[in-house]
Chain A
Amino acid sequence: ETGVTQSPTHLIKTRGQQVTLRCSSQSGHNTVSWYQQALGQGPQFIFQYYREEENGRGNFPPRFSGLQFPNYSSELNVNALELDDSALYLCASIPDLEEDTQYFGPGTRLTVL
Chain B
Amino acid sequence: QQQVKQSPQSLIVQKGGISIINCAYENTAFDYFPWYQQFPGKGPALLIAIRPDVSEKKEGRFTISFNKSAKQFSLHIMDSQPGDSATYFCAARGHLGYSTLTFGKGTMLLVSP
The bracket for how many chain A residues form the interface is 20 to 34
For B97, what are the chain A residues with a Cβ–Cβ distance below 8 Å? 55-56
A31 touches B99 (CB 8 A): yes
Bound form: Cα–Cα A17–B82 in Å: 42
Q: Which residues of A contact B41 (CB under 8 A)?
A: 106
| CB-based contact B106/A107 at 8 Å | no
A58 CA to B96 CA in the complex, in Å? 11
Known A41-B105, A42-B89; judge A90-B44 contact (CB<8 A).
yes
**CA–CA, A98 to B36, complex, Å?**
17
Give the contacts of B2-33 with A (CB-CB under 8 A): 4, 6, 32
Q: Does A77 contact B (CB under 8 A)?
A: no
B84-113, CB under 8 A of A: which get 1 and which 0? 000001010100111111111110000000
B100 and A45 within 8 A (CB): yes
Which of A35, A48, A90, A105 is in CB contact (< 8 Å) with B99?
Answer: A48
A43-70 to B contact mask, C-beta < 8 Å, 1/0: 1110010100001101000000000000
Total chain B interface residues with beta-carbon distance under 8 A: 26
Tell me if A101 counts as interface (CB < 8 A to partner B): yes
Q: Closest Cβ of chain B: how far from A33's Cβ, in Å?
A: 7
User: Given A31-B99, A48-B99, A42 and B43 touching (CB < 8 A)?
Assistant: no
Per the 8 Å Cβ criterion, residues 16-33 of A in contact with B are 31, 33
Q: Mark B37-63, 1 if CB is under 8 A from A, else 0.
A: 000011111100100000000000000
Contact between A101 and B46, CB atoms less than 8 A apart: yes
**Which chain B residue has the least Cβ–Cβ distance from A103?**
B46
19 further interface pairs, Cβ-Cβ under 8 Å (given A43-B101, A56-B98, A102-B46): A4-B43, A31-B99, A33-B100, A35-B101, A40-B105, A41-B106, A42-B6, A42-B91, A42-B105, A42-B106, A43-B103, A55-B97, A90-B43, A94-B99, A100-B34, A101-B46, A102-B99, A104-B43, A107-B42
